[in-house]
Chain A
Amino acid sequence: MSERDNILGRIREALKAKAPRPSPRDGAAPLPQPPAGGARQWLPPVGRNFKDWVELFGKNAAELKADFLLVSSSDEMRQALVSLRDAERWKSAACHSGLLPDAICPVLGIPMVHTDKHYDVHMLEACDVGITECDALIAQTGSVMLSSRRAGGRALSILPPHHVVLARRDQLVADLPAAFELLKTEYGDNLPSMISFITGPSRTGDIERILVLGAHGPKKLTVLCV
């Protein structure tokens, strides 16, 4: 017998003695599984419309020490990227191909590493910025949801010291349940090998619980949304 059979056998044996369902408070009926209406009914409220969500995403981003800029055109997005380049004196950048990066990134005019095919990880590490698309922005938590398929692989969004996300307005979703629904409709059974919910720049509190940004991943996270 394989260890798999051994372990599953022991589990089946152990489960023969039934444990009662966790008792709800005040004698209420047990919740259906999966809960009807999902987690939305208990999670923090997010407002009703797009305007509320933009405002909430901005507020959350500020609290997380991420930068969020809503721009009205591709030109404005290019300008925003150029001012970041000048302010931080970027010498090289990394990105992947996609509608937004293809339209926006060439304006930088600095050496670019592309992570679409095989790339040199040391060159990526030396870049000042990693520019990616995303799968969604989540107003409820100020998170960026991205995947290995939609954002240039696993390393691009975590290795360079500054991560710039290029997003579209229609990618902003209200809350976490909506983000998971989106994954289902978008990918079905064929999910990317990595899906990450990025909530603010890399951070640690391991020394005296004092917040320090840029523990291992990006020190800065900028979300540009057109």
Chain B
Amino acid sequence: MSSYATKFSRDARRVTSDRRLRQTIRTALHNYEIARDRHQTAFRDWQTARQAAAETKWEAINLLPQHLAEFADKLAVRGTKVHWASTAKQASDIIVGIVQARGARSIIKSKAMTAEEIHLNGALENVGYEVVESDLGEFIVQLRHEAPFHIVFPSMHLTRGEIKDLFQSALGDAPSDDPEALTMVARRVLRKKYLTADVGITGANFAIAETGMISITENEGNARLTAALPKTMVTLLGIEKILPRMADLALFLPMLATAGAGQPMTGYNTLYGGPRQYGECDGPEEFHVVLLDNHRTELLADPQQRDALHCIRCGACLNVCPIFRNIGGHTYNTTYSGPIGSVITPHLRGLQDWKHLSAASSLCGACTEACPVKINLHHHLLHNRRNAVKLKPSAREQFGYDMFTSVMNHPFVWWLGKKTGWLLQPLHNIVKRSPLDPVRAWTKTRDLPPVPRHSFKDWWRKRK
């Protein structure tokens, strides 16, 4: 087992026995499900809308070179500097370079999972910059020096009491544990940061090829402020974020809101097509867009799993996943957690190190059912398992299956096995679940049904 797999099992075991944490997750997601169902049924036809969204993304990815070139060229025409980064290192070097060239002192950032992916904050802090996360959930986990727990709800694992204590110790300001009072503390602290920041960094939910615009979806208005006040704006996004036409948003914005957060429409959906234009009174003087590959083209090269690049990062698959609900987001130890994370992480960070994620699934298919762009998530987990074995067969497993095949091919051996099992059963009951148990890997967490004295076959023969 890779060290990642060992850590995964250890953390999963710890979280599944933490009842309070699991209760916090369950409460949060229960309300989400009720709201999501209500807004899904408001659609005239949610299922065909999913199909349409899937086909639009398929078209976007299938013609990616044209779309990306159009997107970049249209942005450039209106004064945006477009950068291309093959690796995470290149992307963070580009952004550090922009910040240094501007002689910036402080940086405000709105939520961007791609920035988590390339560890941008660390890179900027290494060269002496302060980066402040402005999304409330991100702000909270940043104060705790933690990674986001969920790609959409970063601080869903924390109770108001914990957040109050955190604000008290980190900010010296926590009037009560009332969510509204705590939110206002963050509002006051971050207002000052907005007004003084020289650079604003954002992610993007969509990249519109037709008009050369990025689209940012948020509820708090923090990205709006990040894109309005600082003199320089930097947007980091993956190359797969493309949508062909602006009008495609008429479908994608409400679907993202409904699937992701159980809202009919997210609070602010904002398109940006450049820095401040002639005749406009405010906005950044400079706008930089950084397009990131970072192994996405490797995933693209696999036609079977390519549709994982259709993902719009709504988080719906995490919300409905029985594994996520029980082991939580941090256990994955990846940027993208939940089913989509288990599918793409092996492509982004190495199949052999991360193949255990494909096994952490009940293959129930709830994720596939929830996905607004119809990514066949649980099938991809099977693909990953198959590919991992193909590349690195396990001799032990192979031996096991060879044995099984030969037993199944010889009825007498099978019969002998059944009888021996029945005879040895009382002995097994003595050692069951103890370290002496030969099948402890199974019995540790599962029941082993008793071997009956007479099999169905015996009974059938007698009956005749």
Contact = CB atoms under 8 A, between A and B. Distances in A.
A116 B280 contact: no
B55 A21 contact: yes
A200 B268 CA distance: 8
A58 interface: no
A191 B85 contact: no
B90 to A, nearest CB: 7
A23 to B, nearest CB: 9
Interface stretch (B176-184, B387-395, B406-414, B443-451): B176-184
Interface string A186-208: 00000111111111111111111
Contacts of A106: none
Interface in A115-131: 115-119, 121-122, 125
Nearest to B211: A191
Contacts of B253: 176, 197
Contacts of A215: 136, 183, 186-187, 219-222
Max chain A Cβ within 10 angstroms of own Cβ: one of B90, B266, B275: B266
A22 B52 CA distance: 10
A38 B247 CA distance: 8
A21 B283 contact: no
Given A8-B65, A39-B250, A207-B155, A14 B84 contact: no
Contact of B52 (A31, A115, A204): A31
Contacts of B269: 196-197, 199
Contacts of B32: 209
A121 to B, nearest CB: 6
A27 interface: no
Contacts of A99: none
B184 to A, nearest CB: 8
The A contact surface, by secondary structure, is loop
B160 interface: yes
B280 A148 contact: yes
Interface residues on A, range: 35 or more
Interface stretch (B5-13, B42-50, B114-122, B377-385): B42-50
Given A11-B300, A215-B220, A125 B195 contact: yes
Given A202-B221, A208-B28, A194 B136 contact: no
For chain B, the bracket of interface size reads 35 or more
Contacts of A119: 281-282
Interface string A10-46: 1111110111111011000011011100111111110
A191 B213 contact: yes
Interface string A82-125: 00000000000000100000000000000000011111011001
Contact of A33 (B47, B59, B272, B306): B59
Contact of B267 (A118, A125, A202): A202
Interface in A198-226: 198-210, 212, 214-218
Interface in A156-183: 158-159, 175-177, 179-181, 183
Contact of A19 (B58, B140, B219, B272): B58
B31 interface: yes
Contact of B153 (A35, A125, A197, A206): A206
Interface in B154-197: 154-156, 158-160, 163, 179-180, 182-184, 186-187, 190-191, 195
B276 interface: yes
The 4 closest A-B pairs by CB, nearest first: A217-B221, A154-B228, A215-B220, A14-B301
19 contacts: A2-B84, A3-B86, A8-B69, A11-B68, A17-B301, A21-B58, A22-B54, A33-B55, A42-B49, A43-B49, A141-B265, A153-B282, A193-B273, A194-B273, A196-B270, A197-B253, A200-B267, A202-B267, A208-B160
